[in-house]
Structure 1
Amino acid sequence: MVKRDFVKLLLPAVVAGEFYAPDTRGYKELSDAVTGCEESDGTISRADEAGLQNYIKSHKNLSRKDYLILVDDNDEPDWYNSSDLTKKKGKRPKKAPAVCSKADAVCEGTGELQNSYERYQFYPAPTKEDFATSKNYTAARESCQSLGDNWDLMIINTKREWTFLKEVMDDSCWDHEAWWIGFKEYDTVAPGQRGSLTTVFSKEPEWEPKWETDEPNDAQGVEECIRYRLGDFNDAPCSKYWSGVKRDEIGMGYVCEKHNYIESCEPVAIDSEFMENYSIHEPKNAGEGKSWDDARAFCQAKGANWDLAVPNTEAEFDKLVQATQCSWSRFWLGAKYTAYTDEVAVDYGLYYAVDGSDEAQIFRRWDKHTNWESPDPNNKPGVTECIRMRGDLMNDQDCSVSGKDKPHGWICELSEPEDPCEPTMSLVGDRYAILNTLGDNRNKRAACSAVGDGWGVYEDSSDYVTALLAANGYSGDKQPAAVCERAVPCANQDGATFTAVDEDDLKIIGLGNYNKASAKAACKNYGSGWNLAIINDERESKEINRKLGGCYNYWIGMTHSESIVYDEVSSMIGFAPWAPINTQKICGSGCVTMRGGEYYSADCDAEIESAVVCEYTPPVENKKDEDCLPCKHNALIRPWHSIAGCSKPVDTCEESARLQIVDQWKIGNGKSRPVRYGFVGLIKIPQSVIDSKQQFSVLIRFSPKVNHGHFQLWNMNFWNFYNGGYEVLIHSKNWNTDLHDKTSIAFVAEGLNVNDIPELLFWRSHQRRHQCFQPSMHHGQRTGADQPKSAFELAIENHGGDISNVSRVRFNKKGKVIFKGARD
């Protein structure tokens, strides 16, 4: 922003006390008027005193007089015309009343408010010495525009903004001055009856100015420009650069504002191709607006795959902005937001979108302009609100709001139908594909090549392929357009005898008809520590496949979600050699089988002819209690004080949960990569609690220095994050998933911005009252069946998930939180 050198001087100013007229019959002599005011502890009012004109207009016993006695800038009394408070010329009147000010008060404002927000700049009227620099309306606009893009005279859109302007004027002792404002008024009907009103951008304003009595009035001819003074507005000639009488050399001030898109935009042509999948709905009449639920129902009633619009990218959102054509209306979008914190303007919560998008896929541009004192998102912890747009900004709002005087609109979107994950070919497997047609291809060879890498025309004959064709209705003269074959990596072992492997840590068994469960059971028959093999990298994959005989399907222990592969404790595995065929849709969730070193998505419950790969994992040696950290080991963590009415944690170290550190690490160099810390923690639960099958809660308390991190947890449930995210409440599950040492709970903390080890608090029951951990979350919460649900529960319900499945949580110093669910 280009900014001029400008010094705002804040000088003590004399402001009026209470106006009064001691004798409305009038005084013959000026000296008598002075005495009359002094005898009542006042002084004669100055002709340019703030509020004087309004006072006179509101008192008929003064406004009906032709003349009044007032004083000029030099405190000399004189006769003034009551209509415009200019000095009377010529013969003095016989008598006139005086207007007095009860007492002079020195305004000594702080001047702090004028610098509260960068979007506003205040330029008060120059002093008499600099009167020549005072600006008319056009010059004031040019001065504002020189500050940079989107700057112009201030436009008042809300009562809140008008109140702010008044407060700045009072605080800066400027309330007696006149200020150019970004409104214009044309074709005044009559005094006090305005004509058409626009902003400096020729748009109809959202807010009606509070006019002075009988304003606007075109009293001096054409008066199209608007001034602010003493909380009210009046019209004036745009060419004027003075207030009152020019010879008094009282200049004009002006207020500049950096405007947002909605105040200054102009409609542009809509992208008709883009809008084929969207519809904009903008009710014009009060009562026609819709709540979020009603708006969604309207969109869904349009037909299959219609719903409220979800902007997934900035480009998509900008197209929607363009489509609303600079409307002042608010439009519902297809997303909800549940805040974790009551700190305003912090995007810290969980998201739900009607199209299933996660937080990272929902584009957001929060409104920091309209409500600058409480910018969006103006969070209400644990309360789910719906997201709406206005202009090019978004805010969160009560989902039930439909708008009374300003009815809510909504935007619908037609989404692509969900991919049912069906093969694109008539029949396709990992080895053969039967094509009903050649499509756009010239011949069989081209059609088979189009199936994927390594595919060609099948030119042999085999009982298997003949049976496959017959099973799909092909025999005799009825044949498909083409039969294709892929040369899988193990094709050279086709027909080779299956070879079992029986080693100390690896066993390969089969062949047989197995599903995932029966394959796993076959491995566990070998004893403790045996399970389906988890393949973590290419080296391990090559080592196992080197020992396999024949070209068969093999059950392994991983699962997948879309194309991401996970181990049994839901940790992601980076190595995932999916078979390179474009007809295999890797979508949804499922199990994984392997053939020729390549992975295939498999129905976990389906029995297939296959072999099984088992591996042995040595048991982890139990750590002894003496390896636990001492209680209250972190001096940076504040002492715990239980709130009245809340359960107290176990107060003895021996009967509480204890923490062991299994491993610690540090990554990053502080230059090209930030330094981050992490550790594996083991929470030891008292044996008596496990034996009694009691429910329990653990509060993991980091010091306030932690503001960034990732957490993974498997055999307990996250309940909520408190106090900025560095205090984590977890609950025991209603079932036990431990395969080893049921008294321990492992968790991983990584990506921490400081090297910090937490302390633990322990309760022998589930703690669900949020206010016991963060008082600001009270909001009338109480225990029992009607207890409001936590932010996690609300957000996950909206997301269509289950709180018991959350295993990974990430938060950062900007307040963003991302959760992911565990996978079977």
Structure 2
Amino acid sequence: MVKRDFLKLLLPAVVAGEFYAPDTRGYKELSDAVTGCEESDGTISRADEAGLQNYIKSHTNLSRKDYLILVDDNDEPDWYNSSDLTKKKGKRPKKAPAVCSKADAVCDGTGELQNSYERYQFYPAPTKEDFATSKNYTAARESCQSLGDNWDLMIINTKREWTFLKEVMDDSCWDHEAWWIGFKEYDTVAPGQRGSLTTVFGKEPEWEPKWETDEPNDAQGVEECIRYRLGDFNDAPCSKYWSGVKRDEIGMGYVCEKHNYIESCEPVAVDSEFMENYSIHEPKNVGEGKSWDDARAFCQAKGANWDLAVPNTEAEFDKLVQATQCSWSRFWLGTKYTAYTDEVAVDYGLYYAVDGSDEAQIFRRWDKHTNWESPDPNNKPGVTECIRMRGDLMNDNDCSVSGKDKPHGWICELSEPEDPCEPTMSLVGDRYAILNTLGDSRNKRAACSAVGDGWGVYEDSSDYVTALLAANGYSGDKQPAAVCERAVPCANQDGATFTAVDEDDLKIIGLGNYNKASAKAACKNYGSGWNLAIINDEQESKEINRKLGGCYNYWIGMTHSESIVYDEVSSMIGFAPWAPINTQKICGSGCVTMRGGEYYSADCDAEIESAVVCEYTPPVENKKDEDCLPCKHNALIRPWHSIPGCSNPVDTCEESARLQIVDQWKIGNGQSRPVRYGFVGLIKIPQSVIDSKQQFSVLIRFSPKVNHGHFQLWNMNFWNFYNGGYEVLIHSKTWNTDLHDKTSIAFVAEGLNVNDIPELLFWRSHQRRHQCFQPSMHHGQRTGADQPKSAFELAIENHGGDISNVSRVRFNKKGKVIFKGARD
């Protein structure tokens, strides 16, 4: 960039005289005019003085007068025609105003202030010798834009910025010059009454210029461009590159500024998907500004999980910037800042966020443009101020202000409900927790205690914990809010020697690096009947743990889906002593390891330092019912209690219907398709019932966790569905339609939301009384011939079907019967 030589500005400079009229009402005597000028430290202006004619034209209180008092070449006062500044001939006027000039003064400014801020560049009017280089408005803009991105003519947004401009002009002895500024004015209403005003970017300005008397006025025709001189503003033709009369060769200066986003931005389309979780509250749209507390209360009143917005990333903040649509308004955010230092523009203090985010999780982009003399953050040490945004920048301010002249807006954010499967910390292994934030706790001890029973602050040091911290992004000066340690039940054995167990039905082997498959293979190496141990109840768990030595991880044979534990044939196990870690709910699915008698979720494929618990189960001889599930195998199904007056089901497993699982499956990936389970079951009916040709009923009972599914049946009839649709009562057919194995009935369940295997209840007759299965019947109660029809029966009739022909039924989460089809 080529700059003008400013060295001459450091020397005292002579400032041209300033015109003024001490009394525009006029003087009757020439001597009174001389006295009036002298009393105001001036002299009557010469008729041929440079710039005088332009001054008169720009002041209607003079240009509208017929005559003025001026002096001639001999400094003698006389009466002059105001139109062409020639002496009046003939009779003297009764009265006329005088135009005075200030005595020439010596400017002693240093010229240094104009170079003190990088965001501004000043280009004063050229000398007479270089008058040809003076620029009109368009050329001045082009010169500014050539400085780089975001550069253009200066826009004055605040009184502070206007004061700064005046100070620079005074300090640099430029106050008498005219300067192009980045405003434009259109369609002047009348002298002194402006039309529409914009910045060079076409935006409505935030600050109103201080106009000269009777400005703007379009005195020279269309005057749309704005100039600054002596603290005030006037309009002028954009094509002019001179000030005053062109023949005087007084050029134009101009001021360039590197603008911030809010001054130059243009609104763009808002990301509608992003804005589903945010709301922008512009003061002009809501009718008033709000303090930080009132703005927060407004957001919280919108409903659960609504609060002031907290930008956690630059990408999120940029979306909010986009959503404010280039508004000049300030918007409260959900963060506060307490400074530790009185140094301005130094980000060193305590942060608070309404969503619990710590300092590292709060994105900041401080405003160093608007208040360039005291950039943000700039609050005093120990003083808490709230953070607001304007354009693409942030600043801190008194939380109690709502903005009298410039009301404050605010931005609300809908946070996702807290998911117990997404903890607020990084949990490493089963013994250490890394806390990114202390949350609502006042200190580390309270924060660690809040993790769960037995948790405390880790106050030791070890290479292992150092490695864990490094793996989670912490090292050197960057450390977490706290590291917590859990005292597991076997902590008193920590460091004890591992004890192997070698018994006829139990073997404990290790230590080594095992995953689930290699641990299972180690058990099977002992021969037929050996496998990873399945622990079915508390007594069995105590027996095994009593034999364990040391505080180690042990592979066992169960898997889990969330907090439900399953054995190897996917039967649920009611006993599940999960370690009380950071959530009350075990999330996802995986394998199970045990330590200190407590269960932990483990990646089945991950190798961990562990031991292995193996057990022996005698092989079962091949019998007809070897694949039938045991009665009462599903611990999640509530015990059956018959209602008084209703028939009891068969109470022995041997004489009841039994369930055999022929096949099972799982579909879906949990992302593009929901995970769904299904199976083909074979209901085995006692031979004696079939031989006696008795009618019978079977109640298929799923656990309450099932809330979605489809059912298909062929050789029995659906009778009704109870308790949300997942206790299914079926009846034997009046006519035998079986062509193969009359003691078995195929039953298909698919689309189940959980992997659940039902239990069966059996009656040696048709059970038709709905209230015996659900007293609060949602589908109608039947006590006899006059009993209303159930929703299931009504659904069949609506399809013109018959209950004996229905082969497939679906129920949704609300328990609504959806009739799918019938056999031909």
Shift in CA distance, 287/665, structure 1 to aligned 2, threshold 3 Å: same
Give the Cα–Cα distance (whole angstroms) in 2 for the partners of residues 456 and 661 of structure 1: 47
Deviates more, 1:800-809 or 1:374-383: 800-809
Following superposition, the deviation at residue 311 of structure 1 comes to 0.7
Shift in CA distance, 725/184, structure 1 to aligned 2, threshold 3 Å: farther
Shift in CA distance, 757/554, structure 1 to aligned 2, threshold 3 Å: closer
Contact 2:571 2:633 in 1 (8 A): no
Contact 1:287 1:403 in 2 (8 A): no
Structure 2: which 5+ residue stretches go unaligned? none
Deviates more, 1:684-693 or 1:354-363: 684-693
Q: In structure 2, the residue corresponding to 1:677 is in which secondary structure?
A: strand
Following superposition, the deviation at residue 405 of structure 1 comes to 2.5
Shift in CA distance, 754/183, structure 1 to aligned 2, threshold 3 Å: farther
Give the Cα–Cα distance (whole angstroms) in 2 for the partners of residues 367 and 821 of structure 1: 67
Instruction: Give a deviation string over 1:382-404, Cα, whole Å, max 9, x none.
Output: 11111000000000011111112
Q: In structure 1, the residue corresponding to 2:320 is in which secondary structure?
A: helix
Give the Cα–Cα distance (whole angstroms) in 2 for the partners of residues 520 and 271 of structure 1: 52
Q: In structure 2, the residue corresponding to 1:520 is in which secondary structure?
A: helix
Contact 1:719 1:790 in 2 (8 A): no
Contact 2:126 2:253 in 1 (8 A): yes
Following superposition, the deviation at residue 298 of structure 1 comes to 1.5
Contact 1:423 1:585 in 2 (8 A): no
Shift in CA distance, 788/184, structure 1 to aligned 2, threshold 3 Å: farther
Shift in CA distance, 542/363, structure 1 to aligned 2, threshold 3 Å: farther
Contact 2:572 2:636 in 1 (8 A): no
Q: In structure 2, the residue corresponding to 1:469 is in which secondary structure?
A: helix
Which has the greater radius of gyration? Answer: 2
Following superposition, the deviation at residue 107 of structure 1 comes to 1.1
Contact 1:708 1:813 in 2 (8 A): yes
Q: In structure 1, the residue corresponding to 2:228 is in which secondary structure?
A: strand
Instruction: Give a deviation string over 1:105-135, Cα, whole Å, max 9, x none.
Output: 2112111111121111111111111111111
Give the Cα–Cα distance (whole angstroms) in 1 for the partners of residues 651 and 114 of structure 2: 53
Shift in CA distance, 513/673, structure 1 to aligned 2, threshold 3 Å: closer
Structure-to-structure mapping, 1:586-597, within 5 angstroms: 595=595
Shift in CA distance, 596/273, structure 1 to aligned 2, threshold 3 Å: same
Following superposition, the deviation at residue 104 of structure 1 comes to 3.1
Q: In structure 2, the residue corresponding to 1:355 is in which secondary structure?
A: coil
Shift in CA distance, 462/21, structure 1 to aligned 2, threshold 3 Å: closer
Contact 1:337 1:795 in 2 (8 A): no
Contact 1:51 1:176 in 2 (8 A): no
Deviates more, 1:96-105 or 1:251-260: 96-105
Deviates more, 1:502-511 or 1:263-272: 502-511
Following superposition, the deviation at residue 306 of structure 1 comes to 1.4
Q: In structure 2, the residue corresponding to 1:388 is in which secondary structure?
A: strand
Shift in CA distance, 381/245, structure 1 to aligned 2, threshold 3 Å: same
Shift in CA distance, 501/36, structure 1 to aligned 2, threshold 3 Å: same
Give the Cα–Cα distance (whole angstroms) in 2 for the partners of residues 2 and 779 of structure 1: 89
Shift in CA distance, 275/243, structure 1 to aligned 2, threshold 3 Å: same
Following superposition, the deviation at residue 481 of structure 1 comes to 42
Following superposition, the deviation at residue 242 of structure 1 comes to 0.8
Contact 2:278 2:411 in 1 (8 A): yes
Shift in CA distance, 522/325, structure 1 to aligned 2, threshold 3 Å: same
Shift in CA distance, 781/750, structure 1 to aligned 2, threshold 3 Å: closer
Contact 1:382 1:790 in 2 (8 A): no
Shift in CA distance, 331/503, structure 1 to aligned 2, threshold 3 Å: farther
Deviates more, 1:688-697 or 1:309-318: 688-697
Contact 2:795 2:817 in 1 (8 A): no
Following superposition, the deviation at residue 373 of structure 1 comes to 1.2
Following superposition, the deviation at residue 273 of structure 1 comes to 1.4
Shift in CA distance, 34/367, structure 1 to aligned 2, threshold 3 Å: same
Contact 1:570 1:823 in 2 (8 A): no
Contact 2:356 2:439 in 1 (8 A): no
1:412 corresponds to 2:416: no
1:230 corresponds to 2:237: no
Following superposition, the deviation at residue 630 of structure 1 comes to 81
Following superposition, the deviation at residue 407 of structure 1 comes to 1.6
Following superposition, the deviation at residue 691 of structure 1 comes to 93
Give the Cα–Cα distance (whole angstroms) in 2 for the partners of residues 730 and 42 of structure 1: 115
Shift in CA distance, 170/339, structure 1 to aligned 2, threshold 3 Å: same
Give the Cα–Cα distance (whole angstroms) in 2 for the partners of residues 777 and 8 of structure 1: 100
Q: In structure 1, the residue corresponding to 2:483 is in which secondary structure?
A: strand
Give the Cα–Cα distance (whole angstroms) in 2 for the partners of residues 478 and 565 of structure 1: 39
Deviates more, 1:414-423 or 1:304-313: 414-423
> Percent identity at matched positions?
98
1:482 corresponds to 2:505: no
Contact 2:339 2:379 in 1 (8 A): yes
Following superposition, the deviation at residue 305 of structure 1 comes to 1.6
Shift in CA distance, 391/553, structure 1 to aligned 2, threshold 3 Å: same
Give the Cα–Cα distance (whole angstroms) in 2 for the partners of residues 14 and 108 of structure 1: 9
Give the Cα–Cα distance (whole angstroms) in 2 for the partners of residues 346 and 784 of structure 1: 84
Contact 1:711 1:749 in 2 (8 A): yes
Give the Cα–Cα distance (whole angstroms) in 2 for the partners of residues 6 and 784 of structure 1: 109
Structure 1: which 5+ residue stretches go unaligned? none
Following superposition, the deviation at residue 176 of structure 1 comes to 0.9
Shift in CA distance, 532/811, structure 1 to aligned 2, threshold 3 Å: farther
Shift in CA distance, 277/422, structure 1 to aligned 2, threshold 3 Å: closer
Q: In structure 2, the residue corresponding to 1:8 is in which secondary structure?
A: helix
Deviates more, 1:158-167 or 1:742-751: 742-751
Shift in CA distance, 496/786, structure 1 to aligned 2, threshold 3 Å: farther
Following superposition, the deviation at residue 45 of structure 1 comes to 3.5
Q: In structure 2, the residue corresponding to 1:402 is in which secondary structure?
A: coil
Instruction: Give a deviation string over 1:219-262, Cα, whole Å, max 9, x none.
Output: 11111111111111111111111111111111111111110000
Contact 1:306 1:412 in 2 (8 A): yes
Give the Cα–Cα distance (whole angstroms) in 2 for the partners of residues 478 and 133 of structure 1: 57
Give the Cα–Cα distance (whole angstroms) in 2 for the partners of residues 164 and 779 of structure 1: 80
Shift in CA distance, 532/142, structure 1 to aligned 2, threshold 3 Å: farther
Following superposition, the deviation at residue 349 of structure 1 comes to 0.5
Following superposition, the deviation at residue 344 of structure 1 comes to 1.2
Contact 1:187 1:194 in 2 (8 A): yes
More relative contact order, 1 or 2 (CA 8 Å, 6+ apart): 1
Shift in CA distance, 125/346, structure 1 to aligned 2, threshold 3 Å: same
Deviates more, 1:374-383 or 1:492-501: 492-501
Contact 2:810 2:820 in 1 (8 A): no
Contact 1:348 1:815 in 2 (8 A): no
- TM-score normalized with structure 2 length: 0.50
Give the Cα–Cα distance (whole angstroms) in 1 for the partners of residues 623 and 629 of structure 2: 12
Deviates more, 1:165-174 or 1:58-67: 58-67
Contact 1:153 1:200 in 2 (8 A): yes
Give the Cα–Cα distance (whole angstroms) in 2 for the partners of residues 47 and 722 of structure 1: 109
Q: How many residues align?
A: 824
Shift in CA distance, 169/43, structure 1 to aligned 2, threshold 3 Å: same
Instruction: Give a deviation string over 1:723-753, Cα, whole Å, max 9, x none.
Output: 9999999999999999999999999999999
Contact 1:286 1:404 in 2 (8 A): no
1:668 corresponds to 2:665: no
1:582 corresponds to 2:582: yes
Deviates more, 1:279-288 or 1:671-680: 671-680
Contact 1:54 1:213 in 2 (8 A): no
Q: In structure 1, the residue corresponding to 2:776 is in which secondary structure?
A: helix
Give the Cα–Cα distance (whole angstroms) in 2 for the partners of residues 645 and 112 of structure 1: 104
Shift in CA distance, 50/341, structure 1 to aligned 2, threshold 3 Å: farther
Contact 1:427 1:433 in 2 (8 A): yes
Shift in CA distance, 703/343, structure 1 to aligned 2, threshold 3 Å: farther
Contact 1:425 1:583 in 2 (8 A): no
Following superposition, the deviation at residue 676 of structure 1 comes to 57
Shift in CA distance, 646/230, structure 1 to aligned 2, threshold 3 Å: farther
Shift in CA distance, 523/410, structure 1 to aligned 2, threshold 3 Å: farther
Following superposition, the deviation at residue 324 of structure 1 comes to 0.6
Shift in CA distance, 285/703, structure 1 to aligned 2, threshold 3 Å: same
Deviates more, 1:553-562 or 1:149-158: 553-562
Shift in CA distance, 168/739, structure 1 to aligned 2, threshold 3 Å: farther
Shift in CA distance, 554/189, structure 1 to aligned 2, threshold 3 Å: same
Following superposition, the deviation at residue 162 of structure 1 comes to 0.7
Contact 1:192 1:214 in 2 (8 A): yes
Deviates more, 1:399-408 or 1:618-627: 618-627
Deviates more, 1:495-504 or 1:262-271: 495-504
Give the Cα–Cα distance (whole angstroms) in 2 for the partners of residues 99 and 562 of structure 1: 93
Deviates more, 1:767-776 or 1:490-499: 767-776
1:325 corresponds to 2:320: no
Deviates more, 1:387-396 or 1:722-731: 722-731
| Aligned twin of 2:98 | 98
Give the Cα–Cα distance (whole angstroms) in 1 for the partners of residues 61 and 451 of structure 2: 97
Instruction: Give a deviation string over 1:286-343, Cα, whole Å, max 9, x none.
Output: 9611111111111112222211111111111111101111011111111100011122
- TM-score normalized with structure 1 length: 0.50
Give the Cα–Cα distance (whole angstroms) in 2 for the partners of residues 688 and 170 of structure 1: 115
Shift in CA distance, 190/644, structure 1 to aligned 2, threshold 3 Å: farther
Give the Cα–Cα distance (whole angstroms) in 1 for the partners of residues 792 and 302 of structure 2: 32
Deviates more, 1:381-390 or 1:56-65: 56-65
